[in-house]
Amino acid sequence: MAKLYLVPTPIGNLEDMTFRAINILKEVDLILAEDTRTSGKLLKHFEIGTQMISHHMHNEHKMVDGLVKRIAAGETMALISDAGTPAISDPGFLLTRACVEHGIEVDCLPGATAFVPALVNSGLPNDKFVFEGFLPVKKGRQTRLQFLAEETRTIILYESPHKLVKTLGNLAEYLGEGRKASVSREISKLHEETVRGTLAEVKSHFESKPPKGEIVLIVAGKD
């Protein structure tokens, strides 16, 4: 039966790959990969020989219609990102929405997502939270920070290492230097690290020790 699978891939340790994910990638007709060079290493490691093509933020708009027609005609496809679950700050939403609109079955496998272990490991309330992904770089950034200053749920953000200190500074300015925060980087990798404290304390830490790798920032909500 024609179907689209959304398959999470490891964010660090390859042992985080599930048996089901490996089997699905071996069985589908085609794998849509964010970066075929990165995914090629993963497929080689697990001896997966399925055909793979690029599907990323720069070409997904023009590819969607053609892919939907192919799936509707009987092909089964799997969508993977470089790391983690597709469509979470990665390509995947557009194709998923199009398949749903055309009555095509979509099956998202459970698996690695960076913000879940970062949230649980933060020590901050996780019964209610909001995932913000990346903050706007320029336009709309100030407005978003003003909005988040009133957010009562725990806030989850993604950030690049070279922008982390600036973002921590922005958050301290709008939310207050004493707001509790946690930064997790290189989750599931050799140099995994979590730094907890106030926004001011965490900012000071990374000013003296510039961060590297993938970063998840968790900030307590307003009391």
Residue 14's pLDDT band (boundaries 50, 70, 90)?
very high
Helices (H), 28-130: 36-45, 60-72, 93-101, 115-122
What would the two tokens of residue 68 be?
A: 């939907």
Average pLDDT, the chain: 96
Q: Is the pTM of this model over 0.85?
A: yes
Query: Which CATH topology does 115-219 take?
Result: 3.30.950
Q: 156, 221 in Cβ contact below 8 A?
A: no
**Domain ranges within the chain, ordered by starting residue:** 4-108, 115-219
- Identify the bridge partners of residue 182 per DSSP, sorted by sequence position: 196, 218
Is the domain spanning 4-108 CATH 3.40.1010.10? The answer is yes
C-alpha dist (Å) from residue 169 to 106, 197, 211: 41, 14, 15
pLDDT at 61 over 80: yes
Closest listed residue to residue 129, CA positions, set 141, 112, 113, 110: 113
